[in-house]
Amino acid sequence: MAVTGRFVALLAVAIVPTVLLGSGWGGLAWIGLVVLAAAVDLVLAADLRLVRVERRMPRLARRDTTAEGTLVLANDGRRVLRAVVRDMWEPSAGHGPRRIPITVPGGERRTARMRFAPFRRGRRTTAGIALRAAGPLGLAARQRVVAAPDALVVTPPFRSRRHLPSRLARLRELDGETTLQLRGHGTEFDSLRDYVRGDDVRSIDWRATARRQDLVVRTWRPERDRRVVVVVDAGRAGAGRVDDEPRLDTAIETALLVGALAAAAGDRVDLVVLDDTVRGRVHGATRADVVQRFGETLATAEPGLRATDWAAVPAIVDAVTTQRALVVLATSLDSVGASGDLLAVLPVLGRRHAVVVTSVEDPAVVRMAATGGTTDGGGADAAGRRAERDRTGRDRTGRDGTGRAARDRAGDGAPTGRRTGSSHRLGSSRLDGWSVRDGWSRKDAEQVYRRAAAERTLLDADGVAEVARRAGAEVVRGLPEDVPPRTADAYIRAKASGRL
Protein backbone atom coordinates (compact mmCIF):
# COMPACT_ATOMS: atom_id res chain seq x y z
CA MET A 1 0.00 0.00 0.00
CA ALA A 2 1.08 3.56 -0.67
CA VAL A 3 -0.54 6.95 -0.18
CA THR A 4 -0.45 9.72 -2.73
CA GLY A 5 0.31 13.40 -2.43
CA ARG A 6 -3.42 14.11 -2.68
CA PHE A 7 -4.01 12.15 0.52
CA VAL A 8 -1.34 14.14 2.36
CA ALA A 9 -2.79 17.43 1.08
CA LEU A 10 -6.27 16.50 2.31
CA LEU A 11 -4.90 15.62 5.73
CA ALA A 12 -3.28 19.05 5.90
CA VAL A 13 -6.72 20.59 5.36
CA ALA A 14 -7.62 19.38 8.88
CA ILE A 15 -5.79 22.44 10.18
CA VAL A 16 -8.63 24.69 8.91
CA PRO A 17 -11.50 23.35 11.10
CA THR A 18 -9.15 23.09 14.04
CA VAL A 19 -8.28 26.78 13.83
CA LEU A 20 -11.78 28.02 12.98
CA LEU A 21 -13.62 26.01 15.65
CA GLY A 22 -10.90 26.32 18.22
CA SER A 23 -11.19 22.60 18.91
CA GLY A 24 -9.44 19.49 17.67
CA TRP A 25 -12.60 17.46 17.19
CA GLY A 26 -13.32 18.99 13.83
CA GLY A 27 -9.82 18.18 12.63
CA LEU A 28 -10.07 14.59 13.89
CA ALA A 29 -13.38 14.15 12.12
CA TRP A 30 -11.85 15.39 8.86
CA ILE A 31 -8.87 13.07 9.24
CA GLY A 32 -11.17 10.11 9.85
CA LEU A 33 -13.13 10.98 6.74
CA VAL A 34 -9.98 11.17 4.61
CA VAL A 35 -8.66 7.86 5.96
CA LEU A 36 -12.00 6.19 5.26
CA ALA A 37 -11.98 7.54 1.72
CA ALA A 38 -8.43 6.25 1.23
CA ALA A 39 -9.45 2.78 2.43
CA VAL A 40 -12.36 2.71 -0.02
CA ASP A 41 -10.07 3.95 -2.77
CA LEU A 42 -7.62 1.15 -2.03
CA VAL A 43 -10.36 -1.47 -2.26
CA LEU A 44 -11.50 -0.09 -5.62
CA ALA A 45 -7.95 -0.10 -7.08
CA ALA A 46 -7.11 -2.74 -9.68
CA ASP A 47 -5.79 -6.06 -8.45
CA LEU A 48 -2.12 -6.19 -9.48
CA ARG A 49 -2.09 -9.98 -9.26
CA LEU A 50 -4.19 -9.98 -12.43
CA VAL A 51 -1.73 -7.80 -14.34
CA ARG A 52 0.71 -9.41 -16.78
CA VAL A 53 3.84 -7.65 -17.99
CA GLU A 54 5.82 -8.35 -21.14
CA ARG A 55 9.05 -6.62 -22.19
CA ARG A 56 10.03 -6.39 -25.86
CA MET A 57 13.51 -5.00 -26.38
CA PRO A 58 16.74 -5.65 -28.28
CA ARG A 59 19.29 -8.02 -26.84
CA LEU A 60 22.26 -5.82 -27.81
CA ALA A 61 22.81 -2.08 -27.70
CA ARG A 62 25.91 -0.11 -28.53
CA ARG A 63 27.32 2.21 -25.92
CA ASP A 64 26.63 5.93 -26.46
CA THR A 65 23.77 5.14 -28.85
CA THR A 66 20.00 4.88 -28.32
CA ALA A 67 17.92 1.71 -28.48
CA GLU A 68 14.14 1.43 -28.35
CA GLY A 69 12.01 -1.04 -26.43
CA THR A 70 8.34 -1.69 -25.61
CA LEU A 71 6.62 -2.55 -22.34
CA VAL A 72 3.28 -4.39 -22.66
CA LEU A 73 0.79 -4.43 -19.76
CA ALA A 74 -2.21 -6.76 -19.91
CA ASN A 75 -5.03 -6.21 -17.38
CA ASP A 76 -6.91 -9.50 -16.87
CA GLY A 77 -9.15 -8.00 -14.17
CA ARG A 78 -12.43 -6.08 -14.45
CA ARG A 79 -11.34 -2.82 -12.87
CA VAL A 80 -9.51 -0.10 -14.69
CA LEU A 81 -5.78 -0.13 -14.03
CA ARG A 82 -4.46 3.37 -13.30
CA ALA A 83 -0.82 2.62 -12.76
CA VAL A 84 2.63 4.08 -12.62
CA VAL A 85 5.21 1.63 -13.99
CA ARG A 86 8.90 1.67 -13.15
CA ASP A 87 11.29 -0.76 -14.85
CA MET A 88 14.08 -1.46 -12.35
CA TRP A 89 17.15 -1.23 -14.60
CA GLU A 90 20.64 -0.39 -13.47
CA PRO A 91 21.35 3.35 -13.82
CA SER A 92 24.14 2.74 -16.38
CA ALA A 93 21.56 1.23 -18.75
CA GLY A 94 20.31 4.77 -19.38
CA HIS A 95 16.68 3.63 -19.21
CA GLY A 96 13.97 6.21 -19.66
CA PRO A 97 11.44 7.35 -18.81
CA ARG A 98 12.00 6.22 -15.25
CA ARG A 99 8.27 6.28 -14.40
CA ILE A 100 5.54 5.61 -16.97
CA PRO A 101 1.92 6.54 -16.19
CA ILE A 102 -0.50 4.24 -17.98
CA THR A 103 -4.20 3.43 -17.91
CA VAL A 104 -5.42 -0.03 -18.96
CA PRO A 105 -9.14 -0.87 -19.06
CA GLY A 106 -10.23 -4.26 -17.78
CA GLY A 107 -9.57 -7.13 -20.17
CA GLU A 108 -7.35 -5.04 -22.44
CA ARG A 109 -3.66 -4.34 -22.93
CA ARG A 110 -1.58 -1.24 -23.53
CA THR A 111 2.00 -0.61 -24.61
CA ALA A 112 4.53 1.96 -23.45
CA ARG A 113 7.70 2.99 -25.25
CA MET A 114 11.08 2.71 -23.53
CA ARG A 115 14.42 4.19 -24.49
CA PHE A 116 17.91 2.96 -23.60
CA ALA A 117 20.97 5.21 -23.81
CA PRO A 118 23.64 3.12 -22.07
CA PHE A 119 26.84 4.85 -21.09
CA ARG A 120 28.76 1.87 -19.73
CA ARG A 121 29.89 -1.25 -21.52
CA GLY A 122 28.89 -4.64 -20.14
CA ARG A 123 25.84 -6.64 -19.16
CA ARG A 124 23.10 -4.43 -17.72
CA THR A 125 20.33 -6.23 -15.82
CA THR A 126 16.93 -5.62 -14.28
CA ALA A 127 15.33 -7.53 -11.42
CA GLY A 128 11.72 -6.75 -12.25
CA ILE A 129 9.05 -4.15 -12.81
CA ALA A 130 7.45 -2.14 -10.00
CA LEU A 131 3.73 -1.39 -10.37
CA ARG A 132 1.72 1.12 -8.37
CA ALA A 133 -2.03 1.09 -9.07
CA ALA A 134 -4.07 3.96 -7.64
CA GLY A 135 -7.82 3.95 -6.92
CA PRO A 136 -10.37 6.14 -8.69
CA LEU A 137 -10.04 8.85 -6.02
CA GLY A 138 -6.26 8.94 -6.28
CA LEU A 139 -5.74 8.78 -2.49
CA ALA A 140 -4.14 5.36 -2.01
CA ALA A 141 -2.49 2.78 -4.25
CA ARG A 142 -1.51 -0.85 -4.30
CA GLN A 143 2.12 -1.77 -4.98
CA ARG A 144 3.73 -4.89 -6.35
CA VAL A 145 7.03 -5.88 -7.94
CA VAL A 146 6.59 -8.26 -10.86
CA ALA A 147 9.53 -10.59 -11.29
CA ALA A 148 10.69 -10.01 -14.87
CA PRO A 149 14.46 -10.48 -15.02
CA ASP A 150 16.14 -9.45 -18.23
CA ALA A 151 19.51 -8.28 -19.52
CA LEU A 152 20.85 -5.84 -22.08
CA VAL A 153 24.34 -6.45 -23.44
CA VAL A 154 26.00 -3.09 -24.08
CA THR A 155 28.67 -3.50 -26.74
CA PRO A 156 31.70 -1.22 -27.18
CA PRO A 157 31.12 2.09 -28.99
CA PHE A 158 33.58 1.24 -31.82
CA ARG A 159 34.75 4.83 -32.19
CA SER A 160 37.61 3.69 -34.43
CA ARG A 161 35.06 2.80 -37.12
CA ARG A 162 35.76 6.21 -38.68
CA HIS A 163 39.20 4.91 -39.75
CA LEU A 164 37.73 1.91 -41.58
CA PRO A 165 36.84 3.52 -44.95
CA SER A 166 40.33 4.94 -45.51
CA ARG A 167 41.97 1.60 -44.67
CA LEU A 168 39.58 -0.28 -46.94
CA ALA A 169 40.49 2.12 -49.73
CA ARG A 170 44.16 1.31 -49.21
CA LEU A 171 43.40 -2.40 -49.38
CA ARG A 172 41.53 -1.86 -52.65
CA GLU A 173 44.55 -0.01 -54.02
CA LEU A 174 46.73 -2.99 -53.13
CA ASP A 175 44.22 -5.25 -54.80
CA GLY A 176 44.15 -3.14 -57.98
CA GLU A 177 40.42 -2.45 -57.73
CA THR A 178 40.40 1.34 -57.56
CA THR A 179 39.58 3.73 -60.37
CA LEU A 180 43.24 4.75 -60.39
CA GLN A 181 43.97 1.58 -62.37
CA LEU A 182 46.79 0.63 -60.05
CA ARG A 183 48.29 -2.78 -60.57
CA GLY A 184 47.60 -5.06 -57.61
CA HIS A 185 50.55 -5.63 -55.34
CA GLY A 186 51.01 -8.73 -53.23
CA THR A 187 52.36 -12.24 -53.31
CA GLU A 188 49.32 -14.22 -54.45
CA PHE A 189 48.91 -14.79 -58.20
CA ASP A 190 45.80 -13.14 -59.61
CA SER A 191 45.68 -13.26 -63.42
CA LEU A 192 47.48 -12.72 -66.75
CA ARG A 193 47.00 -9.68 -68.94
CA ASP A 194 48.62 -7.97 -71.90
CA TYR A 195 51.72 -5.92 -71.29
CA VAL A 196 51.31 -2.15 -71.34
CA ARG A 197 53.98 0.50 -71.29
CA GLY A 198 55.14 1.15 -67.76
CA ASP A 199 54.70 -2.40 -66.46
CA ASP A 200 57.55 -3.95 -64.54
CA VAL A 201 59.48 -6.20 -66.92
CA ARG A 202 60.06 -8.61 -64.06
CA SER A 203 56.34 -9.42 -64.14
CA ILE A 204 56.49 -10.75 -67.72
CA ASP A 205 55.38 -14.37 -67.98
CA TRP A 206 57.69 -15.68 -70.72
CA ARG A 207 55.93 -19.01 -71.17
CA ALA A 208 52.55 -17.35 -71.71
CA THR A 209 54.27 -14.82 -73.98
CA ALA A 210 55.70 -17.66 -76.09
CA ARG A 211 52.29 -19.30 -76.40
CA ARG A 212 50.44 -16.14 -77.39
CA GLN A 213 53.27 -14.54 -79.37
CA ASP A 214 52.64 -11.33 -77.43
CA LEU A 215 53.95 -9.91 -74.18
CA VAL A 216 51.94 -11.08 -71.17
CA VAL A 217 52.47 -10.06 -67.54
CA ARG A 218 51.37 -11.59 -64.26
CA THR A 219 49.28 -9.59 -61.81
CA TRP A 220 49.31 -10.17 -58.09
CA ARG A 221 47.03 -9.43 -55.21
CA PRO A 222 47.38 -9.47 -51.44
CA GLU A 223 46.92 -12.87 -49.86
CA ARG A 224 43.37 -13.86 -48.99
CA ASP A 225 41.90 -16.46 -46.70
CA ARG A 226 44.77 -15.94 -44.26
CA ARG A 227 44.45 -16.12 -40.48
CA VAL A 228 44.46 -13.18 -38.08
CA VAL A 229 44.36 -13.85 -34.33
CA VAL A 230 43.72 -10.93 -31.97
CA VAL A 231 44.59 -11.52 -28.32
CA VAL A 232 43.11 -8.92 -25.94
CA ASP A 233 44.89 -8.57 -22.61
CA ALA A 234 42.23 -8.43 -19.86
CA GLY A 235 44.76 -8.75 -17.03
CA ARG A 236 46.29 -6.14 -14.80
CA ALA A 237 47.95 -4.31 -17.71
CA GLY A 238 44.49 -3.37 -19.01
CA ALA A 239 43.27 -2.06 -15.66
CA GLY A 240 45.33 1.15 -15.73
CA ARG A 241 43.23 4.20 -16.59
CA VAL A 242 44.20 6.50 -19.45
CA ASP A 243 42.02 9.53 -20.22
CA ASP A 244 39.46 8.31 -17.67
CA GLU A 245 39.10 4.94 -19.42
CA PRO A 246 40.88 1.64 -18.78
CA ARG A 247 43.54 0.61 -21.26
CA LEU A 248 41.38 -2.39 -22.02
CA ASP A 249 38.98 -0.10 -23.90
CA THR A 250 41.76 0.86 -26.33
CA ALA A 251 42.57 -2.83 -26.83
CA ILE A 252 38.89 -3.45 -27.57
CA GLU A 253 38.78 -0.65 -30.15
CA THR A 254 41.93 -2.11 -31.75
CA ALA A 255 40.41 -5.59 -31.92
CA LEU A 256 37.20 -4.29 -33.52
CA LEU A 257 39.00 -2.24 -36.17
CA VAL A 258 41.52 -4.96 -37.10
CA GLY A 259 38.78 -7.60 -37.10
CA ALA A 260 36.50 -5.58 -39.37
CA LEU A 261 39.37 -4.71 -41.72
CA ALA A 262 40.73 -8.25 -41.96
CA ALA A 263 37.28 -9.76 -42.52
CA ALA A 264 36.61 -7.21 -45.29
CA ALA A 265 39.93 -8.22 -46.89
CA GLY A 266 38.84 -11.86 -47.06
CA ASP A 267 40.88 -13.15 -44.12
CA ARG A 268 39.58 -15.31 -41.28
CA VAL A 269 39.65 -13.55 -37.93
CA ASP A 270 39.73 -15.05 -34.45
CA LEU A 271 39.51 -13.33 -31.08
CA VAL A 272 40.81 -14.41 -27.68
CA VAL A 273 40.21 -12.50 -24.42
CA LEU A 274 42.87 -13.58 -21.96
CA ASP A 275 44.01 -12.95 -18.39
CA ASP A 276 45.08 -15.93 -16.27
CA THR A 277 42.66 -17.99 -18.35
CA VAL A 278 40.65 -17.60 -21.55
CA ARG A 279 37.66 -15.35 -20.76
CA GLY A 280 36.15 -15.19 -24.22
CA ARG A 281 36.70 -16.54 -27.71
CA VAL A 282 35.36 -15.90 -31.21
CA HIS A 283 36.29 -18.37 -33.92
CA GLY A 284 35.99 -17.89 -37.66
CA ALA A 285 34.18 -14.53 -37.77
CA THR A 286 33.02 -13.47 -41.23
CA ARG A 287 32.62 -10.06 -42.79
CA ALA A 288 28.88 -10.02 -42.06
CA ASP A 289 29.05 -10.76 -38.34
CA VAL A 290 32.57 -9.89 -37.17
CA VAL A 291 31.63 -6.61 -35.49
CA GLN A 292 28.59 -8.07 -33.75
CA ARG A 293 30.36 -11.20 -32.52
CA PHE A 294 33.47 -9.35 -31.41
CA GLY A 295 31.38 -6.68 -29.74
CA GLU A 296 29.23 -9.19 -27.88
CA THR A 297 32.27 -11.06 -26.56
CA LEU A 298 34.22 -7.92 -25.66
CA ALA A 299 31.21 -6.27 -24.01
CA THR A 300 31.59 -8.34 -20.86
CA ALA A 301 35.39 -8.16 -20.73
CA GLU A 302 36.54 -6.44 -17.55
CA PRO A 303 40.15 -5.80 -16.51
CA GLY A 304 41.22 -7.58 -13.35
CA LEU A 305 44.23 -7.68 -11.10
CA ARG A 306 45.37 -11.10 -12.25
CA ALA A 307 48.59 -11.51 -14.22
CA THR A 308 48.07 -12.49 -17.85
CA ASP A 309 49.23 -16.00 -18.70
CA TRP A 310 51.32 -15.12 -21.75
CA ALA A 311 53.00 -18.55 -21.69
CA ALA A 312 49.70 -20.07 -22.84
CA VAL A 313 49.44 -17.87 -25.96
CA PRO A 314 51.47 -20.12 -28.35
CA ALA A 315 49.27 -23.10 -27.50
CA ILE A 316 46.11 -20.99 -27.88
CA VAL A 317 47.21 -19.76 -31.32
CA ASP A 318 48.17 -23.30 -32.40
CA ALA A 319 44.70 -24.47 -31.35
CA VAL A 320 43.17 -21.80 -33.59
CA THR A 321 45.31 -22.42 -36.68
CA THR A 322 48.25 -24.50 -37.74
CA GLN A 323 49.24 -22.17 -40.58
CA ARG A 324 51.16 -18.93 -40.39
CA ALA A 325 49.04 -16.09 -39.00
CA LEU A 326 49.20 -12.49 -37.95
CA VAL A 327 48.99 -12.43 -34.15
CA VAL A 328 48.00 -9.08 -32.65
CA LEU A 329 48.69 -8.81 -28.92
CA ALA A 330 46.58 -5.89 -27.67
CA THR A 331 48.28 -5.05 -24.38
CA SER A 332 50.63 -2.42 -22.98
CA LEU A 333 54.41 -2.31 -22.60
CA ASP A 334 55.36 -0.49 -19.41
CA SER A 335 58.56 -1.89 -17.93
CA VAL A 336 60.74 -4.97 -18.19
CA GLY A 337 59.48 -6.24 -14.85
CA ALA A 338 55.80 -5.89 -15.75
CA SER A 339 56.23 -7.19 -19.32
CA GLY A 340 58.77 -9.93 -18.66
CA ASP A 341 56.37 -12.82 -19.32
CA LEU A 342 55.27 -11.27 -22.60
CA LEU A 343 58.84 -10.66 -23.77
CA ALA A 344 59.74 -14.27 -22.98
CA VAL A 345 57.04 -15.66 -25.26
CA LEU A 346 57.64 -13.37 -28.27
CA PRO A 347 60.56 -15.37 -29.74
CA VAL A 348 58.43 -18.52 -29.67
CA LEU A 349 55.54 -16.80 -31.43
CA GLY A 350 57.81 -14.99 -33.87
CA ARG A 351 59.29 -18.21 -35.22
CA ARG A 352 55.95 -19.28 -36.72
CA HIS A 353 53.84 -16.16 -36.97
CA ALA A 354 53.99 -12.47 -37.70
CA VAL A 355 53.52 -10.72 -34.36
CA VAL A 356 52.27 -7.19 -33.66
CA VAL A 357 52.30 -5.84 -30.09
CA THR A 358 50.33 -2.72 -29.20
CA SER A 359 51.11 -0.38 -26.33
CA VAL A 360 49.03 2.53 -25.01
CA GLU A 361 50.72 5.63 -23.70
CA ASP A 362 49.24 7.99 -21.15
CA PRO A 363 48.77 11.49 -22.63
CA ALA A 364 49.28 12.98 -19.16
CA VAL A 365 52.73 11.38 -18.92
CA VAL A 366 53.65 12.58 -22.42
CA ARG A 367 52.56 16.13 -21.59
CA MET A 368 54.43 16.01 -18.29
CA ALA A 369 57.62 14.93 -20.05
CA ALA A 370 57.23 17.76 -22.55
CA THR A 371 56.18 20.60 -20.24
CA GLY A 372 57.33 19.61 -16.76
CA GLY A 373 53.78 19.22 -15.53
CA THR A 374 52.53 22.74 -16.34
CA THR A 375 48.93 23.06 -17.43
CA ASP A 376 48.59 26.19 -19.51
CA GLY A 377 45.46 25.19 -21.36
CA GLY A 378 45.82 24.13 -24.97
CA GLY A 379 49.53 24.97 -25.05
CA ALA A 380 50.39 22.05 -22.79
CA ASP A 381 48.19 19.69 -24.81
CA ALA A 382 49.77 20.84 -28.06
CA ALA A 383 53.27 20.46 -26.64
CA GLY A 384 52.45 16.96 -25.43
CA ARG A 385 51.00 16.01 -28.80
CA ARG A 386 54.07 17.30 -30.65
CA ALA A 387 56.41 15.42 -28.32
CA GLU A 388 54.42 12.22 -28.70
CA ARG A 389 54.27 12.56 -32.50
CA ASP A 390 57.99 13.22 -32.80
CA ARG A 391 58.88 10.34 -30.53
CA THR A 392 56.55 7.78 -32.09
CA GLY A 393 57.80 8.79 -35.52
CA ARG A 394 61.30 7.82 -34.43
CA ASP A 395 60.04 4.66 -32.68
CA ARG A 396 58.58 3.24 -35.88
CA THR A 397 62.00 3.19 -37.51
CA GLY A 398 64.20 3.14 -34.42
CA ARG A 399 66.16 6.05 -35.89
CA ASP A 400 65.85 9.77 -36.28
CA GLY A 401 66.05 11.81 -39.46
CA THR A 402 69.87 11.80 -39.55
CA GLY A 403 70.13 8.02 -39.50
CA ARG A 404 71.52 7.83 -36.01
CA ALA A 405 69.67 6.02 -33.25
CA ALA A 406 67.33 8.50 -31.59
CA ARG A 407 68.30 7.44 -28.13
CA ASP A 408 71.99 8.17 -28.85
CA ARG A 409 71.32 11.84 -29.34
CA ALA A 410 72.29 14.21 -26.58
CA GLY A 411 72.37 17.94 -26.36
CA ASP A 412 72.74 20.82 -24.00
CA GLY A 413 70.10 23.28 -22.95
CA ALA A 414 66.42 22.65 -22.47
CA PRO A 415 65.33 19.12 -23.52
CA THR A 416 62.70 19.13 -26.23
CA GLY A 417 62.30 15.41 -26.97
CA ARG A 418 62.98 11.97 -25.57
CA ARG A 419 66.52 11.22 -24.35
CA THR A 420 68.22 8.56 -22.32
CA GLY A 421 69.31 9.05 -18.75
CA SER A 422 72.78 10.06 -19.89
CA SER A 423 71.24 12.73 -22.09
CA HIS A 424 69.45 14.45 -19.23
CA ARG A 425 72.24 16.87 -18.59
CA LEU A 426 71.41 20.40 -17.61
CA GLY A 427 74.20 21.56 -19.90
CA SER A 428 74.59 25.25 -19.04
CA SER A 429 72.89 24.62 -15.69
CA ARG A 430 69.52 25.59 -17.14
CA LEU A 431 66.29 23.70 -17.81
CA ASP A 432 63.61 25.60 -19.75
CA GLY A 433 64.76 28.96 -18.39
CA TRP A 434 65.29 27.86 -14.78
CA SER A 435 68.76 28.76 -13.55
CA VAL A 436 70.55 26.73 -10.92
CA ARG A 437 72.76 29.72 -10.15
CA ASP A 438 69.71 31.92 -9.61
CA GLY A 439 68.08 29.30 -7.40
CA TRP A 440 64.88 27.34 -7.93
CA SER A 441 61.60 27.73 -6.16
CA ARG A 442 59.83 24.76 -4.65
CA LYS A 443 57.36 24.76 -7.53
CA ASP A 444 60.19 24.64 -10.07
CA ALA A 445 61.76 21.69 -8.26
CA GLU A 446 58.45 19.81 -8.26
CA GLN A 447 58.04 20.37 -12.00
CA VAL A 448 61.57 19.15 -12.69
CA TYR A 449 60.91 16.07 -10.59
CA ARG A 450 57.65 15.34 -12.42
CA ARG A 451 59.37 15.78 -15.77
CA ALA A 452 62.20 13.45 -14.79
CA ALA A 453 59.72 10.84 -13.53
CA ALA A 454 57.71 11.05 -16.75
CA GLU A 455 60.87 10.70 -18.84
CA ARG A 456 61.89 7.68 -16.78
CA THR A 457 58.50 6.05 -17.41
CA LEU A 458 58.68 6.67 -21.15
CA LEU A 459 62.30 5.47 -21.32
CA ASP A 460 61.32 2.23 -19.60
CA ALA A 461 58.60 1.73 -22.20
CA ASP A 462 61.14 2.50 -24.95
CA GLY A 463 63.44 -0.18 -23.60
CA VAL A 464 60.69 -2.80 -23.48
CA ALA A 465 59.61 -1.91 -27.02
CA GLU A 466 63.18 -2.32 -28.27
CA VAL A 467 63.44 -5.76 -26.65
CA ALA A 468 60.14 -6.75 -28.31
CA ARG A 469 61.43 -5.61 -31.71
CA ARG A 470 64.60 -7.63 -31.29
CA ALA A 471 62.42 -10.64 -30.54
CA GLY A 472 60.84 -10.25 -33.99
CA ALA A 473 57.65 -8.39 -33.12
CA GLU A 474 56.40 -5.15 -34.62
CA VAL A 475 55.54 -2.68 -31.87
CA VAL A 476 52.72 -0.16 -32.29
CA ARG A 477 52.74 2.61 -29.71
CA GLY A 478 50.77 5.79 -29.32
CA LEU A 479 48.00 7.63 -27.55
CA PRO A 480 44.67 5.81 -27.08
CA GLU A 481 43.07 7.31 -30.18
CA ASP A 482 46.15 6.55 -32.33
CA VAL A 483 46.75 2.89 -31.49
CA PRO A 484 43.79 1.32 -33.43
CA PRO A 485 44.53 3.01 -36.79
CA ARG A 486 48.27 2.36 -36.46
CA THR A 487 47.58 -1.31 -35.79
CA ALA A 488 45.38 -1.40 -38.88
CA ASP A 489 48.28 0.11 -40.84
CA ALA A 490 50.55 -2.64 -39.52
CA TYR A 491 48.08 -5.23 -40.81
CA ILE A 492 48.04 -3.59 -44.24
CA ARG A 493 51.84 -3.54 -44.34
CA ALA A 494 51.90 -7.24 -43.52
CA LYS A 495 49.46 -7.92 -46.35
CA ALA A 496 51.45 -5.84 -48.83
CA SER A 497 54.77 -7.44 -47.94
CA GLY A 498 53.45 -11.01 -47.97
CA ARG A 499 54.36 -11.72 -44.35
CA LEU A 500 51.17 -13.69 -43.85
CA distance 147 to 84: 16
280 contacts 271 by C-beta, under 8 angstroms:
yes
Confidence category of residue 446, pLDDT binned at 50, 70, 90: confident
Write down the pLDDT at residue 354.
94
Confidence category of residue 373, pLDDT binned at 50, 70, 90: low
DSSP category for residue 178: S
Q: Residue 21: pLDDT above 50?
A: yes
Instruction: Answer with the residue of higher pLDDT: 25 or 342.
Output: 342
Q: Residue 142: pLDDT above 80?
A: yes
Of 83, 148, 69, 72, nearest to 110 by C-alpha is 72
> If you average pLDDT over every residue of the chain, what do you get?
81
Other CB atoms closer than 10 Å to residue 227's CB: what's the count? 21
Q: Residue 189: pLDDT above 80?
A: no
Q: Residue 42: pLDDT above 70?
A: yes
Maximum Cα interatomic distance, the chain, rounded to a whole number of Å: 124
Average pLDDT rounded to a whole number, residues 162-178: 80
**Rounded to two decimals, what is the model's pTM?**
0.74
The answer to which of 167-181, 323-337, 351-365, 398-412 has the lowest mean pLDDT is 398-412
Write down the pLDDT at residue 392.
52
Write down the pLDDT at residue 499.
75
Write down the pLDDT at residue 127.
86
Write down the pLDDT at residue 488.
96
Backbone angles phi, psi at 106, to 5 degrees: -60, 135
Average pLDDT rounded to a whole number, residues 19-26: 70
Report the percent of the chain where pLDDT is more than 90: 44
Write down the pLDDT at residue 176.
57
Instruction: Answer with the residue of higher pLDDT: 83 or 197.
Output: 83
Confidence category of residue 435, pLDDT binned at 50, 70, 90: very low
Query: What is the side-by-side strand order in the sheet with 95-96?
Result: 51-56, 67-75, 109-116, 95-96
Instruction: Answer with the residue of higher pLDDT: 97 or 213.
Output: 97
Confidence category of residue 198, pLDDT binned at 50, 70, 90: confident
How many helices (H) and strands (E) are present in the chain, helices listed first? 13, 22
Q: Residue 399: pLDDT above 50?
A: no
Q: Is the N-terminal amide bond of 97 cis, ω within 30° of 0?
A: yes
Give residue-wise pLDDT tens across range 453-499: 889 988 999 999 999 999 999 999 999 999 999 999 999 998 887 77
Q: Output the CA–CA distances (angstroms, integers) from residue 330 to 238, 254, 296, 342, in the order listed.
A: 9, 7, 18, 11
